[in-house]
Structure 1
Amino acid sequence: MDPEGSRIQDDPYIQVMMAGSTLRKVKSRSWKKNRYFRLLEDGLTIWYKSRWAGRGHSTFSVTDLEAVREGHQSEVLLSIAEEFPAELCFTLVFHGRQGNLDLVAESPDEAQAWIQGVRKLIHKTQTMDEKERLDQWVLDWFHKADKNKDGKMNFKEVKKLLKMMNVEMNEDHALHLFTMADKSESGSLEIEQFVFFYKMLTQRDEVWKVFQDYSEDGEKLMLEELESFLSVEQHEGEQSTQHAQELIECYEPSETAKKQGAMSLDGFQMYLCSQEGSIFKPEHQDLYQDMSQPLSHYFISSSHNTYLLEDQLRGQSSLEAYIQALKRGCRCVEVDCWDGYDEDPVVYHGHTLTSKILFKDVISTLKEYAFRASEFPVILSIENHCSVEQQKVMAQYLRQILGDMLQTTLLDGQVPQQLPSPQELKGKILLKAKKIGGLEEYLDETCTDEVSDEEEMANCDAEMASTEDSPEKKSKAKSKMSRELSDLVVYCKSVHFGGFEHARSHAKCYEISSFSESKAKKLAKEAGTDFVQYNTRQLSRTYPSGLRTDSSNYNPQDMWSMGCQIVALNFQTAGLEMDLNDGLFRQNGCCGYVIKPDFMRDGNTQFSPDKPEEREGYKPLRLSIQVISGQQLPKVNQKEGSIVDPLVRVEIHGVPQDQAKDETSHINNNGFNPVWNETLDFTIHTPELALVRFVVEDYDKASRNDFIGQYTLPFTCIQPGYRHIHLLSKDGTAIPPSSLFVNISISELT
């Protein structure tokens, strides 16, 4: 281990974890079982098994963990709160969609040791630099392959290791590398020799060739040679001298080279694999957009049926689903409210077998997590099926729990001509629901407590009256509205959509309509430009068809191309659609708001996604991607002998004319360092709306290819030049050090 590693192992909390503890794993009120947990010697792997089980055990890595929650901070632990006090309980929270682990220790001291110890280890993994990360990665492989745990590896173990690492290597070549590394000629490699073996194994000819093009002596890049590379290949222009110096300072491991102001091949490879060498423009990672425009000028990361962790027929309703969506930067969450027992409203997917959670618990969760990932406003979209009595209870909870967070008044006391901006609404929660009357009567207290059926129908949310929805929703549309709840709605009054003509002459900027995916697509086909214009002034929410009982998603790109802001997706369902959502919102500090292109913010715009060439300022671009190689791709099939046959597909998602995909050929039996050297070309008509998705698959001629990894980003965030693409899992979480190495050029069409 590095010095930091040995220091952390001296920590008393870490020592308790390494000695091991019996902790109670809790899945429900009735499922509570003792498991023996301990931290392994690598300081990164947590191993556990039942004390009595035979050989079965499980492990997970600290890098899989996102946080530790102390006390009763999950529904499961809350349900057993009377049996186990808070100081014994904690929850390990995993990245992505993996379920959390609820645990109960035998004493408060033991609980603290695990809580503080795991937090330290998470912090350590998050603060490692590239070199430490690589060292740790090599060390992990050594421990995995050293089957007899003697701290050495013989050739048989090395052959097994190569299979584990996803590489099918000619035995003579493997033996040649092994012999070169075995300097002591003992027939086995110790850790230092293994590092040398690993270095030879991972030596990348394709990076060496690029290095050779710019290095005069073939050994190092002098400052001006590195500068030349940055300006010619990486398109960095003016600031390349200073940048070249910074890169040497940051990534060059050799002090000798640093003193000469030069970069070795090792340093060059480190730079190319770093965040700065990644495909994503570093300046677009942070909050870089103007946040002072009306809400209707932004795409807003939005969730549908937020309370569900699985499908909408039998899935579990859970507060955890809200936490996960909010942590991913979601800024519009949905709450389906129904009458509960004892006048306490509940949240679930009505008329199905999904479990129920209390409305007040959802609001408490919202209060705690709303602004952890982003400080910009959260829209709380209420689908209201409650009686007037229980709506009053909802209003009470909203006021009591959220307090000042809930925006219940007009910002300047004036009826707005346009919506306020994300900047003005920082830290605020907006209620999206039906409202009695409009903001014009806001100060007029003459309204009665309840509205007539006719008025109510006119105010009806599109979801309630949609022809696709169920009869119970339509009958519900005639229900009464509570004045208390209505008064909490300010900038997001749900109304039925009455057509673009009606909207132009009568609609108010604070009125919002919802469209099912099929209704939105129909309107897009019939009146694309009208839809884009409408969305410059008002918010639109789109949601998946009621027929998607498996909680699958529609392609959000179709809706964004119309300027729809609140494109609600099932965040609980991984796949292409969520990749696109994550890709769009990866920019601008992951704050959940992305400004629309200028031609979608102008109220008189003539833009139509179907005719991109007709807009003012139309300038198509050519995107050329040379897919060079892949690095350490994960195994898809964990069977001992199986190795992937990878191919790379590049997909463009944008206006209809831009939808395209192309792929490389597949490479047999090599997921470790496949080299393709194939170029894929695309023409992009509306670059401002295009997303580019890189997908790696395991080719299978007999059945569907297996997914290996992907990465999606907005076209406008791409850095040209030699770049690495750091792949993500199906869940959207990192799978280091898996990557693709590409060379990208973007040019105007001549």
Structure 2
Amino acid sequence: QDSERPGLVLSGDDQDVLLMQKGTMMRKVRSKNWKKLRYFRLKEDGMTVWHARQNILKCHKCIIISISDVETVRNGHESEVLRSLAEEFPLEQGFTIVFHGRRSNLDLVANSVEEAQIWMKGLQLLVDFVTNMDQQERLDQYRWRGWDCVNNRGDKNQDGRMSFHEVQRLLRLMNVEMEQEHAFQLFQAADTSQSDTLEGQEFIEFYKALTKRVEVLELFGNFSADGQKLTLLEFVDFLQEEQKEGDHASDLALELIDRHEPSESGKLRHVLSMDGFLSYLYSKDGDIFNPSCLPIYQDMTQPLNHYYINSSHNTYLVGDQLCGQSSVEGYIRALKRGCRCVEVDVWDGPSGEPVVYHGHTLTSRILFKEVVATLAQYAFQTSDYPVILSLENHCSFEQQEIIAHHLTEILGDQLLSTTLDGQLPTQLPSPEELQKKILVKGKKLSTLEEDLEEEEELETELEGEQEPELEPQFESETQELSPRSKDKNEKKSKAILCPSLSALVIYTKTVSFYNFTHSREHYRFYELSSFSETKAKNLIKETGNEFVQHNAWQLSRVYPSGLRTDSSNYNPQEFWNAGCQMGPSVAMNVQTAGLEMDIYDGLFRQNGGCGYVLKPEFLRDTHSSFHPERPISPFKAQTLQIQVISGQQLPKVDKTKEGSIVDPLVRVEIFGVRPDTTRQETSYVENNGFNPYWGQTLCFHLLVPELAMLRFLVKDYNWTSRNDFIGQYTLPWTCMQQGYRHIHLLSKDGTSLHPASLFVHICMLE
């Protein structure tokens, strides 16, 4: 029966995978002092790695790693943890499994270099295979994984078959309470061998019967004349009437049939079967997130300050802000998830080398040059658009020179060290113009105008073969711009900004904020200010329109309160409403999961995940009349109707309790301007996380839909305590598709909960 099982077809070149299936002992490493022997084995499905304390693998005693959760595999040289063990083990024996989302990496040390290579190459082969699987293949793999679970948990007597009693136990494991009579009917229908047991393919048929979608069958029947297929015209009617696809529905229907109809004869006849219809609804084409918003679709030629910019705060931390670990892994994770502004707190270090850590705390320290080397390697792996290095400089004059040296030498051509054309600009350059460039944000001794004038004078002097007198000029400039250093001789070296570091600050010069009038009269477009979240909130309430106008010509940064010692985040929405752009603006602790990061990830999921999202037009106008606290949209207000129809294969909240089954409810939350921010929820469905049905409609009225974010939150109802989180999905209003759509749920750390989903109907009315 397993011959019908889908999976990786191994060839003679895939011996690594076969060897992984035999299993081996390896050292699991968390720190220099935490190293434990563990047994690792790739399961026969090629989709799952199990590891345990010994080579007896049972579901309830081992940790399961799904290949679909793995992003990549790195060699030992790239791991700080493994590098700390270089005296104990050759780095070639170590490797790191990197997961999607915010899940911690897994560092391993094999028994030999050859064994490490087997696992590295084998895992990467499997990751590439899973990445290229289509939706149906993923569903098939999930079904067979369920059968493996049956063999280890549902199949009590371990005979490879399931009796009806074992099926009932399995249903509870699968998060569903089903009437005994109905369950027995499904069991008998799947038992084609009439052995009163299920095995292999029979279980798969039983599973398919369990996942039969009555609500989709009914929808299909509403548009199909014969109930067997949708003709091309019937499918076009569905796309126009329900999915609101408009005039291009005819061409789209042909594309979708070709993409989703499983039978070749159906494709030739331009008809869509029930299986093809379900495949369409469950695919990216039927997703609530508009596929046209997935690639880079926005105008990328406008000034930097016209975009929201994906930014991070305390990027170097992978733990809390008081005693957590500082690591270059924080920068790798942030950059790979599209972050375009990273923060570096740099302090004097031993042996003349600056170090990065959260000052005046017990957080660990990393070398500044390692951070810069990490930027050079990872800055443009996810996006070609510019990265802003937010430099929090606490160093002496001497170590500032080392900072400038490392930036120049390590980054090379990636570092922006002068204006793009050597001329004085009249506005900030665009992301398009700054591709593959790293910008330093920090203090600057002079203005761009003075720098360019100085360069011209220097060129003139060089042409006249005169020696330029640069050092005295910098000295007088420093004395003039750092008056406090005259009065505090003992702190002189730290009060003076190093000229070579100052010269690397071009379009992102930091200045103090006094008020908006002062900024308009005294500051330039390439100068930016930082605001604490408390200060920014007060400014939005008191002078919200001025804040909007300010952000239409200059960058601004909002940073989390210093009281957030747990690295929690503020909700970025209210600052986006005022046009705040980046980190210099809405700076987030990306290591911390939760509502705030869900909203943040939701906004930057669009536009190719490139880290830049164009602000609405009324937030890019220096004469805008928009006030985020008293909003009147220049466009029309809209009404949103969301029918929450059903859920599919929701995960259990407490997997340790065999008999526990979730009672799911759905909460729809809207975040936007204050009058639009609201939430509504469905009733809960008792004892069914497998295929719950709600069929409830929620209605929302929005004044400024252009700024709205929607969050679909699924919770397990519990009357004795706060409802437990099951899954969520967040997206911008502007990227939402109308009609019958699936919402593919994500976990707390932003990774896929496949195949868990919601089925909804979306309708927007003016």
TM-score of the superposition, structure 1-length normalised? Answer: 0.94
Whole-Å separation in 1 of the counterparts to 2:661 and 2:35: 39
SS for the counterpart of 1:72 is helix
The equivalent residue for 1:112 is 117
The equivalent residue for 1:35 is 38
1:47 aligns with 2:65: no
AA at the equivalent of 2:10: I
Whole-Å separation in 2 of the counterparts to 1:429 and 1:662: 43
The equivalent residue for 2:563 is 547
**1:477 positional shift:** 12
Among 434, 451, 474, the residue aligned to 1:448: 474
SS for the counterpart of 1:106 is coil
1:642 aligns with 2:660: yes
Whole-Å separation in 2 of the counterparts to 1:323 and 1:457: 39
Give the 3 Å change call, closer, same or farther, for CA 729–46 of structure 1 in structure 2: same
SS for the counterpart of 1:518 is helix
1:360 aligns with 2:369: yes
Give the 3 Å change call, closer, same or farther, for CA 433–583 of structure 1 in structure 2: same
Among 709, 713, 727, the residue aligned to 2:727: 709
AA at the equivalent of 2:182: H
AA at the equivalent of 2:81: V
Q: Deviations over 1:469-527 (max 9, x none)?
A: xxxxxx99982211111111111111101211111122101101100000111111111
- Contact 1:450/1:482 (8 A) holds in 2: no
Among 643, 652, 655, the residue aligned to 2:670: 652
Unaligned runs of 5+ in 1: 460-474
**1:256 positional shift:** 4.2
Whole-Å separation in 2 of the counterparts to 1:674 and 1:457: 69
Give the 3 Å change call, closer, same or farther, for CA 746–413 of structure 1 in structure 2: same
Q: Deviations over 1:124-178 (max 9, x none)?
A: 1111111111111111101101235544322222112211211111122111110
1:610 aligns with 2:629: yes
Give the 3 Å change call, closer, same or farther, for CA 702–111 of structure 1 in structure 2: same
SS for the counterpart of 1:196 is helix
Whole-Å separation in 2 of the counterparts to 1:239 and 1:124: 34
**1:29 positional shift:** 2.3
Equivalent positions of 1:7-18 (< 5 A) are: 7-8=9-10, 11-18=14-21
The equivalent residue for 1:463 is none
**1:84 positional shift:** 2.4
The equivalent residue for 1:246 is 255
- Contact 2:397/2:494 (8 A) holds in 1: no
Give the 3 Å change call, closer, same or farther, for CA 734–90 of structure 1 in structure 2: same
AA at the equivalent of 2:638: L
**1:438 positional shift:** 0.9
**1:53 positional shift:** 9.3
**1:611 positional shift:** 2.4
Q: Deviations over 1:213-238 (max 9, x none)?
A: 10111121111111111111101122
Whole-Å separation in 2 of the counterparts to 1:353 and 1:519: 28
Whole-Å separation in 1 of the counterparts to 2:184 and 2:218: 25
SS for the counterpart of 1:315 is coil
**1:8 positional shift:** 2.5
Whole-Å separation in 2 of the counterparts to 1:702 and 1:333: 42
**1:389 positional shift:** 0.9
Give the 3 Å change call, closer, same or farther, for CA 631–493 of structure 1 in structure 2: same
The equivalent residue for 1:82 is 87
Whole-Å separation in 2 of the counterparts to 1:54 and 1:257: 45
Whole-Å separation in 2 of the counterparts to 1:175 and 1:453: 87
SS for the counterpart of 2:596 is helix
**1:195 positional shift:** 2.0
- Contact 2:667/2:714 (8 A) holds in 1: yes
**1:327 positional shift:** 0.9
The equivalent residue for 1:142 is 147
Among 252, 263, 266, the residue aligned to 1:257: 266
Unaligned runs of 5+ in 2: 455-469, 486-490
AA at the equivalent of 2:26: L
The equivalent residue for 1:305 is 314
The equivalent residue for 1:623 is 640
The equivalent residue for 1:471 is none
**1:88 positional shift:** 1.7
The equivalent residue for 1:493 is 509
The equivalent residue for 1:470 is none
Whole-Å separation in 2 of the counterparts to 1:164 and 1:178: 16
Q: Deviations over 1:57-95 (max 9, x none)?
A: 322111121100023111011112233223222111111
Whole-Å separation in 1 of the counterparts to 2:336 and 2:493: 33
- Contact 2:397/2:493 (8 A) holds in 1: no
Q: Deviations over 1:555-608 (max 9, x none)?
A: 100111111101101101101111111011011000000001111111111111
**1:747 positional shift:** 1.4
The equivalent residue for 1:21 is 24
AA at the equivalent of 1:578: M
Equivalent positions of 1:152-171 (< 5 A) are: 152-171=161-180
1:685 aligns with 2:703: yes
Give the 3 Å change call, closer, same or farther, for CA 153–458 of structure 1 in structure 2: farther
Among 374, 382, 401, the residue aligned to 1:392: 401
Whole-Å separation in 2 of the counterparts to 1:54 and 1:674: 33
The equivalent residue for 1:482 is 498
Equivalent positions of 1:177-192 (< 5 A) are: 177-192=186-201
AA at the equivalent of 1:8: L
Q: Deviations over 1:395-451 (max 9, x none)?
A: 111111111111001111122211011001000000001010111110425632475
1:69 aligns with 2:53: no
- Contact 2:324/2:363 (8 A) holds in 1: yes
Whole-Å separation in 2 of the counterparts to 1:197 and 1:530: 63
TM-score of the superposition, structure 2-length normalised? Answer: 0.93
- Contact 1:561/1:689 (8 A) holds in 2: yes
Give the 3 Å change call, closer, same or farther, for CA 579–688 of structure 1 in structure 2: same
1:225 aligns with 2:243: no
The equivalent residue for 1:729 is 747
498-507 vs 118-127, greater mean Cα deviation: 498-507
Identity %: 57
Give the 3 Å change call, closer, same or farther, for CA 4–57 of structure 1 in structure 2: closer
SS for the counterpart of 2:404 is helix
RMSD of aligned residue pairs (Cα, Å)? 2.0
**1:737 positional shift:** 0.6
583-592 vs 218-227, greater mean Cα deviation: 218-227
601-610 vs 705-714, greater mean Cα deviation: 601-610
Among 312, 324, 329, the residue aligned to 2:333: 324
The equivalent residue for 2:465 is none
AA at the equivalent of 2:610: C
Number of equivalences:
731
Whole-Å separation in 1 of the counterparts to 2:492 and 2:180: 71
SS for the counterpart of 1:153 is coil
AA at the equivalent of 1:703: S
Q: Deviations over 1:625-673 (max 9, x none)?
A: 0110111111111110111111111111111111111111111111111
AA at the equivalent of 1:561: N
Give the 3 Å change call, closer, same or farther, for CA 437–649 of structure 1 in structure 2: same
Whole-Å separation in 2 of the counterparts to 1:6 and 1:724: 28
Q: Deviations over 1:246-273 (max 9, x none)?
A: 2222212234433432222121111101
Whole-Å separation in 1 of the counterparts to 2:178 and 2:692: 12
The equivalent residue for 1:408 is 417
1:526 aligns with 2:527: no
- Contact 1:457/1:478 (8 A) holds in 2: no
**1:183 positional shift:** 2.0
**1:741 positional shift:** 0.4
Whole-Å separation in 2 of the counterparts to 1:92 and 1:565: 34
Whole-Å separation in 2 of the counterparts to 1:670 and 1:282: 31
The equivalent residue for 1:581 is 600
The equivalent residue for 1:5 is 7
- Contact 1:286/1:587 (8 A) holds in 2: yes
- Contact 2:51/2:57 (8 A) holds in 1: no
